[in-house]
């Protein structure tokens, strides 16, 4: 009985922790330009998120509607590389 109560308390504490507001520290979006304040200057890539989403949805719709039974193993989309000093 005691172990059940203690495990319930732990669960409640965990649930309560999800109610806390996130800190103001955030990671930069991978497709946004990072500030060049860092040294060495970082090498970055830009991924075509919209095209990735379109390809994924198109493939799923083709599979759902039985237009194509073969799932493509490779879908190549252009990526832009921004060279820095870290390559």
Domain extent listing, the chain: 47-86
0.85 surpassed by pTM = no
DSSP per-residue string spanning 22-70: PPS--PPPTTSPPPTTSSSPPPEEE--HHHHHHHHHHHHHHHHTTS-SS
Q: What does the pLDDT read at residue 47?
A: 93
* Per-residue confidence in pLDDT tens, the chain, 87 aa: 456 777 777 777 777 666 666 565 555 555 555 555 666 788 888 999 999 999 999 988 888 888 777 777 888 999 999 888 776
Q: What does the pLDDT read at residue 65?
A: 87
């Amino acid at each position: 009985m005691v172990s059940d109560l203690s495990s319930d308390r732990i669960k409640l504490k965990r649930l309560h922790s999800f109610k806390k507001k996130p800190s103001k520290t955030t990671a930069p979006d991978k497709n946004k330009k990072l500030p060049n304040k860092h040294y060495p200057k970082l090498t970055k890539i830009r991924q075509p998120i919209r095209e990735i989403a379109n390809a994924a949805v198109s493939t799923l719709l083709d599979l759902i509607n039985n237009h194509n039974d073969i799932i493509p193993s490779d879908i190549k989309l252009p990526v832009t590389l921004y060279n820095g000093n870290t390559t």
